[in-house]
Amino acid sequence: MIYKFRMLSDEDEHFVRDFELPYNATLKEFHALICEEIEYDDFEMCSMFLCNEKWMKLREFTLIDMGVEEQDSFGEDEIKPVTMDSVLLAEIMTEPSARMLFVFDLMEDRAFFLELIDIIEPADGITYPRVRFANGDAPDQYDAAFGGQSKSIFDEAMDDFDSFDSEDEYGEDEF
């Protein structure tokens, strides 16, 4: 089976990516596909989180082993994080519309929203994993204030009027 995911960003409403991956791909393989597609460095600290329908984090999957032991202090409801390379998509994506967060900037808590939008049969002649659809530029990996902020057509058209200042252009006697 092939899992089809949609990835969105809250930093740019025009950014969207659709990915198709085999059900037996690891989260680390998914991470590598995402980083390659949006041209992010794939060695930066990041985590994926399994989420509920309200995007609340349920379970953490880290890029590298964080050295957390079972006896380390976790709350009653907390589960030890595991590495992305040890988890298959099929193990955690067990419901239609299952959701994950890909937190690519842990310090600023910046993330992409990933939702399982379909499960399909593999098509003949198609190589998986693959990017099925891409629109918009990804937010800058290191600076939330730089790039990735596509403007709507209205905003772009209104840019022409930003420099208009009525007091500079007309005298009071010209009204």
Please report whether residue 161 resides in a domain: no
Q: Is the pLDDT at 46 greater than 70, yes or no?
A: yes
Q: Helix or strand or coil: residue 70? A: coil
Please report whether residue 135 resides in a domain: yes
- Number of domains the chain is built from: 1
Segments forming the whole domain that contains residue 27: 2-150
The CATH number of residue 44's host domain is 3.10.290.30
Please report whether residue 47 resides in a domain: yes
Please report whether residue 159 resides in a domain: no
Question: What is residue 130's predicted lDDT score, i.e. its pLDDT?
Answer: 98
What digits encode the pLDDT tens for the residues 116-147? 999 999 999 999 999 999 999 999 999 888 65
Question: What is residue 153's predicted lDDT score, i.e. its pLDDT?
Answer: 46
Q: Is the pLDDT at 37 greater than 80, yes or no?
A: yes
Q: Helix or strand or coil: residue 4? A: strand
Residue 14 near residue 136, CB atoms below 8 Å = yes
CA distance 39 to 151: 21
Report residue 88 as tokens.
């298959």
Please report whether residue 126 resides in a domain: yes
What digits encode the pLDDT tens for the residues 61-115? 999 887 766 545 555 556 789 999 999 999 999 888 999 999 999 889 999 999 9
